[in-house]
Each structure stands twice: as structure tokens, then as C-alpha cells.
Amino acid sequence: MTVDQLPAGALSTSPKPDPAPTLRIRAVMLGERINASNLELGTLVSSTPAAFRVHGGLAVIFRYGVVVLIGLLPSEEKVLLDSLKSRVTGELSPIEEETAQAQLCKDESAEAIQPGGPICLSKFSDERLLLIADALAKSTSLARDERRVAAVFDVIEPFARELAEKGRTSRRRRGILQLIGNALLVQQRVAGRVAVAEKPDALWEKPQLDRLYARLEDEYELKERLDTLERKLTVISETADALTDIIDTQRSLRLEIAVVVLIVIEVVIGCVQIFAGGH
């Protein structure tokens, strides 16, 4: 059979299936804290965290400074973020952010996260989107904290090397106190501020979504990153204690020297008086 003899339409290709609907998800860390009390952005979807339906998408506000924007246009995101700046404490410059894509899949059993790919959901329900927002917000905050801790380690390393090689430090008390202050500041900011290990409230109402959240935790390595961060914070805390001991030792040494000098002066004065009285 030649091509001319084929039935009509035999050569036509089947139409390609429409691409699965996707949602753009963007997490932005604006500062150390965001005050979400009495905030009115749209229809309230959740109170913990505060989530609002805005322009057909979702805006999720986390008190530790992160806003997650789901399904919004860039222009809509900018307007919303600008409106929140007055509620931000400890504004960051530059901001910290992460993005993700959510895509519809066939059914709930097909929900998965491809490495480097979209997050497949059976439907774009509020509960599922809140779980993604929670995981992405924690990942964004962890990224910021990891950078802070790395910056403190960059300062501590040459100081520790100097102590190891010379057995002493050329830094004065002021420099050591600044190093301790940086270490304690990072520890205070990081420890306990973001409850990474705690599960979001949405899981209490929808425990069947626990598997989805477990996949999100694995994708963003939340537990592993938290464990690493806590180990580094322990080192920073121990370093701060060691530096405090160094300062105390230096101060004690100076006091001892001062006491010895005063004793010597007193002895010299006594000798002079005895010598003068003998004449």
C-alpha cells in the first residue's frame, strides 16, 4: 500500500496532551521577624501560619521573617512584599529567597518530588500548598542561618590557628569580646527561632498528608541541615566559652602583676625610709 492509498487521517499525529497545570512558589525572607497580627491581605485561609488568598493565589506569612507566595505574578508579589515592609523587624539586605514549582499529577499515589524537578500534587488544595510553604520557608531560613554560622567560622578559624601555632593571641581584649559577641549573636538568632523539627499544624487536621511532608523534608534535607547547624552552634558556644576563659586568665594575670608591683613599691619605700632613718 502506497502513501496515496492510506486511509484519510492515517498520517495525522495524535494531538499532544496539554501540559499539566503548574504553580510558581517563591519564599522570601524579608527580616528577622514579621508581625502578622491584625493583617488583612485577603480571605483568611489559615491563622497559624497566617495565610491569605490573594489574586487567586496564596500568601503565607511566617513570624520568623519569611513570606511564601504561591501562584502570584511578579508584579503582584512586589506590591504585596512592599506592603509588608512596615511590619518587618531587622530587615535584610539582600533578601534570602528560594523558588519551587508545583505541578498536578494523576492521583494521590503519584505524588512525588523529582530531584530538581516540580513537586507533583494530586490537587492544589490549601493543605498541600501550606505544607509546601512550610518546608520552603524553613529551607530559606536555614540557608540564611547557615551563611551566618559560616561567617562566624571564617572569623574564628584564623584566631584558633593563631592560638594553636603560637600558644597566644595578638588580639586585644576588645577584639576577643567582639568575636564572642558575634558568636553569641548568631547562636541567639538561630537557636529556637525556627522550629524546623516541628511538624506544621496542617498535618494535625490532615494526617494523611504526612507522607507528602516527609518527602518535602527529604527533598530540602531539613533534619540533616538542622543537625549540622546545631553541631556548628555547639562549636561556636564552646569557642565563646574558651575565649571568655582567655579573657579571665589575662585579667587575673594583670591583677597578679599589679599586686606584685605594689608589693615591690611598698618594699622599696620601706627600705628607703629605713635607710633615711639610719642617717
pLDDT of residue 191: 63
Cis before 49? omega within 30: yes
Question: CA-to-CA distance for 121 and 103, rounded, in angstroms?
Answer: 6
Residue 173 has pLDDT above 70, yes or no: no
* DSSP helix/strand/coil, 93: strand
Q: Torsions phi, psi of 20, nearest 5?
A: -65, 140
Give the tens place of pLDDT for each residue, 213-249: 999 999 999 989 988 888 888 887 777 777 777 766 7
C-alpha cell at 154: 571564617
What are the phi and psi torsion angles at 107 (to 5°)? Answer: -150, 180
Q: What is the pLDDT of residue 9?
A: 46
Mean pLDDT of the chain: 80
**Per-residue confidence (pLDDT) for residue 207, from 0 to 100:** 83
CB atoms within 10 A of CB 162: 14
pLDDT given for residue 12 in this prediction: 44
pLDDT at residue 144 greater than cutoff 60: yes
The per-residue pLDDT for 95 is 87
The secondary structure element, H or E, covering residue 96 is strand 88-104
What is the mean pLDDT of the segment spanning 189-199? Answer: 70
The more confident residue out of 273 and 137 is 137
Other C-beta atoms lying within 10 Å of the C-beta of residue 216: 22
pLDDT tens per residue across span 6-43: 455 444 444 555 566 889 999 999 998 999 888 888 88
Predicted local confidence at residue 62, as pLDDT:
93
Q: What is the dihedral of CA 233, 236, 238, 240, to 10 degrees?
A: -140
Express each pLDDT in 46-101 by its tens digit.
888 999 999 889 999 998 899 999 999 999 999 999 999 999 998 888 889 999 99
Rg (CA), the chain: 31
Q: What is the DSSP string of 11-78?
A: TPPPPPPPPPPEEEEEEEEEEEEE--TT--SSEEEEETTEEEEETTEEEEEETTTEEEEES--HHHHH
**For 112, left (φ over 0), alpha (ψ -120 to 50), or beta?**
beta
153-181: average pLDDT: 71
Residue from 87, 244, 98 nearest 181 by CA? 244
Q: What does the pLDDT read at residue 136?
A: 95
Distance between CA atoms of residues 132 and 98, nearest Å? 12
CA pair distance 183, 168, nearest whole angstrom: 20
Residue 277, pLDDT > 50, answer yes
